[in-house]
Structure 1
Amino acid sequence: MTTAKEKKQIQEEFKNRMDESELLNCMRCGFCLPSCPTYIESGFQESHSPRGRIALMKAVADGLIEPDEDVERSLALCLGCRACEPVCPAGVNYGQLLEEARDIINQNKKHKPGVHLLRKAAFKGLFPHQNRMQAAAGLLGLYQRSGLQTAVRKTGMLSILPEHLRTMEKVLPPVPKRKDMKERPRFLPAAHSVQKRAAFFSGCLMDTLFLATNHATTSLLQAAGCEIVIPDGQACCGALHGHSGEKETGKELAKRNIASFEALEIDYIITNAGGCGAFLQEYAHLLKDEPEWAERARHFTRKLKDFSSVLVELGFHEKNLQAQTPHTVTYQDSCHLRNVMHTSEEPRQLLKNIEGAEYREMEKADSCCGSAGIYNIVESEMSMKILDSKMKSAKKTEAGVIVTANPGCLLQMQLGIQREGLSSRVRAVHLADYLLEAMNLS
């Protein structure tokens, strides 16, 4: 429950910090409504649409309504998928408004003790420190390899968890050993003549739970003619912080990453996770009010590209790629890769050029799968509704492989496959891993 004092402070900060010109840019035209998953799945509730949420933000900033539990609930239920932005005729930067509003609310309310400790442990104690991420992932790997996972499943101990979390435990990837995580090389030569010099943003979860996918990505880039530097000192991108009302920590991580990459003589900074890439792309906005960092952030973002864009630019899609067995494949867009990094055709171009794999476009492939960072954990009911709708579209393609380009999306689609009882004939795979299979290098 937000106190009267907290509400007053939140209202004052909405007035001072929210971008009024951006709020006024919304013309209330409603073009965003058909693209908003929460608006559709909530039964077309206006307060759960982008237009409705902007109206609430403006009303709080103008002092017309209090920032009560209903306002907070509306903002919390938003996926932050930003599908509203490409269809907005006024070009409203909705995602930036959402993150600012969430930060104001989070920083000016008192969380319950348990929630406060959990947030502090995750956002400040774990994600900013890659050595701790490796240690945590190492424990998970030990759980998987030691036989404890099998024992826990047999005893039914997981039954205390909600159904979607029990299923999620089943779809977690095999975690590499901590030694393998620590022994990552810092320079990788091109497989043949050097076409480009690139720096690879390895990420936090991507370089622990999804280390194999990072290896697949760099192998593809090497084959395409990139020599790759993986700089020390880089950290978590800060996306979870930015989306969850921890803006200041997000800024700290942004500065660490900019400092780690800016001295390198490179053509690109490459990412392979749509959610990370989108937040990295927003560093210039995140640091716009800090003169000593603003231009450095713009220089950083100008070099940022998704690995699929670089592969197409270097002609990798023209290589002789061959499916290991004939099958049908479809693609699920990463919302942030599509809506923020504006990368959607390149993954499809790569998939369509694999011999033996019939590509079928998924209906509403550009709509959110319901993962959205930790949304599928904190807003599980809405997340599962969205996932169920997504799986209806996936099943219509009759694809044996569902490809995506973001770790959260990947786990969510694997979760959907399990929920639908399709695990014996359908698999979800990251684009990098799938392309490496087609090269017969895996």
Structure 2
Amino acid sequence: MSGECILCGKCLEVCPLLRATGREELGPRAKADLCRLLSEDTDMLSETDVARLAGLCLGCGRCREVCSQGVDVPALVAGLRGAHPDFKTWLWKTWLKHAKKLWSPGSAAAKRIPEQFHSEKIGPMLKMLAGLKGGAGLEPCLEVTQYPDTYRGQNMLLFAGCTANFVQTRWLMTALKLLDGMGVEVLPGDFKCCGSGLKAAGFADDASAMSAHNVQVWRDAGRPPVVTFCASCRAGLQAYDGCFWSAEEQEVWEKTLVPLSSVLRDVSFVLSTNVSKALGYHQPCHVRGDDSDRTLLNHALKGRITGATGRECCGFGGVMRLAAPGLADPVNRQCWDTLAGADVVVTGCSACVAQLAATAPDSVTVGHWLELIR
């Protein structure tokens, strides 16, 4: 925490959990106050109560962005999670650290569990796991007609993220095809997970090891631009700290992180007749500033996005999805209320795709915007 809360209330205005539940004790200010009190008296709450408190944060980071005092509530909550781990955080850590081994078979296993055995608490989680690998995906409606020479001949690294690497390889293949069309030389790079999910869950050491590895991959490649197509991965990479040789190198790293959609901004597309007449777009919480994904889609789809979120969270929440799914559900419902009427919803975050696909109305299909491109 950089400073003390001055009760300005800015964080309360942006917190999706508070907005959806109306319970101020779940808001950022209450968490910051309680974390401060716990730092003064560690015996104030039992281990069980502290672990429960640590689960009640979506980790969207909106409060951190607006706080004039530099109070980082998600980081405070991550500290609580690290100091008071429980079975749910251990399960989350195992799931993230062993994504290559667990995600594909885990998704296949979840698909085989009949819906009558889906309890109220774990049913949404099972549905999300089952949908990780996706079905047929979205029906493509965009085809490239011309690539610009903007990046032709440049060397870049592609940070695809765990979902694209291990369960949604069609996203990876489409991204590689598009970069090839742009004339970009995609360099080999053995990246690990961005580590943001582990960091938010309180496993700072594991996250630091991943960040150090990924930065070294970048160094070994000559410090080229790093292209991403997942907003959460990009936010996790941007938050790297403590693994650089100097402040100048850290600044260079942050400037080399490039959204794929910004690389494609001058690509010309032709729109097929099968485009949805009610296409919605979900803006991930971890998009800060201009949303290049939405800008690209507005251009490519000729303004056919009929509904879009702005401040709504999908309700994924990382470890909170395991710790308090009932509290995340109203957040998710508000998101779907905003997207009401859409029959196809796209987004640029792998976690948002998983959460929205698991909770979508029966008449709605969800996918990454890359799935719209042939």
- Bin of the TM-score, shorter chain as denominator length: 0.7 to 0.9
Tell me: CA distance 1:202–1:310, structure 2 relative to 1, closer, same or farther (3 Å).
Answer: same
Q: Which residue of the partner structure matches residue 100 of structure 2?
A: 134
The equivalent of 1:386 in structure 2 is 331
1:31 aligns with 2:7: no
Q: Deviations over 1:27-54 (max 9, x none)?
A: 2100111211222333332x31111211
Q: Secondary structure at the match of 1:248?
A: helix
Shift of the 126–351 alpha-carbon distance from structure 1 to 2, 3 Å rule, reads closer
From 346, 354, 357, the counterpart of 2:300 = 354
With the length of structure 2 as denominator, give the TM-score of the two structures: 0.83
1:361-398 deviation digits (Å, cap 9, x = unpaired): 43x53221101234323321112221112111111xx2
Q: Is the 8 A contact 2:57 2:320 kept in 1?
A: no
Q: Whose relative contact order is higher, 1 or 2, with alpha carbons under 8 Å and at least 6 apart? A: 2
Which residue number corresponds to residue 6 of structure 1?
A: none
More helix by share: 1
- One-letter code of the match for 2:180? Q
Task: Check if 1:48 corresponds to 2:26.
Answer: yes
Is 1:407 aligned to residue 358 of structure 2? no
Quote how far apart the aligned CAs of 1:71 are: 4.9
Question: Does residue 364 of structure 2 align to residue 429 of structure 1?
Answer: no
1:60 alignment counterpart? 38
How many Å apart are 1:231 and its aligned residue? 0.7
Tell me if the contact between 1:48 and 1:77 (Cα under 8 Å) persists in the aligned partners: yes
**Compared CA separation, residues 70 and 429, structure 1 to 2 (3 A):** same
1:7-406 equivalences under 5 Å are 19=1, 22-24=2-4, 26-45=5-24, 47-63=25-41, 66-68=44-46, 69-106=48-85, 111=86, 115=87, 119=90, 123=93, 127-128=96-97, 133-140=99-106, 149=111, 152-153=113-114, 162-174=122-134, 194=152, 196-232=154-190, 234-284=191-241, 287=242, 297-312=250-265, 315-316=266-267, 319-326=268-275, 327-336=277-286, 338=287, 342-355=288-301, 358-362=304-308, 364-395=309-340, 398-406=341-349
Aligned CA RMSD, in angstroms, stands at: 3.2
Shift of 1:358: 1.3
The 1:86/1:245 distance shift into structure 2, 3 A limit, reads closer
Identity score, percent: 20
Letter of the structure 2 residue corresponding to residue 301 of structure 1: E
Partners of 2:195 and 2:246 lie apart in 1 by 16
Evaluate the alpha carbon distance shift between residue 44 and residue 153 of structure 1 in structure 2; reply closer, same or farther with a 3 A threshold. Answer: closer
- How far 1:208 sits from its partner (Å)? 0.5
| Structure 2: gaps spanning 5 or more residues | 137-146
Equivalent-residue separation in structure 1 for 2:64 and 2:37 (angstroms):
21
Distance verdict in 2 for CA 1:153–1:42, change over 3 Å: closer
The letter for the 2-side match of 1:209 is V
Q: Unaligned stretches of 5+ in structure 1?
A: 1-18, 177-189
Retained in 2: the 8 A contact 1:334–1:409?
Answer: yes
Give the superposition deviation at 1:321. Answer: 3.5
What is the CA–CA distance in structure 1 between the aligned matches of 2:237 and 2:148, rounded to whole Å?
Answer: 28
Alpha-carbon shift at residue 56 of structure 1 (Å): 1.5
Partner of 2:139: none
CA shift for structure 1 position 239? 1.6
Which residue number in structure 2 is paired with residue 184 of structure 1? none
- 2:227 match: secondary structure: strand
CA contact (8 A) 1:80 1:372 kept: yes
Report the Cα offset of residue 297 of structure 1.
Answer: 4.8
CA distance in structure 2 between the aligned counterparts of 1:421 and 1:399, rounded to whole angstroms: 12
Match of 1:7 in 2: none
Cα deviation 1:384-426 (Å, max 9, x = unaligned): 221112111111xx22221111111011111221xx332xxx2
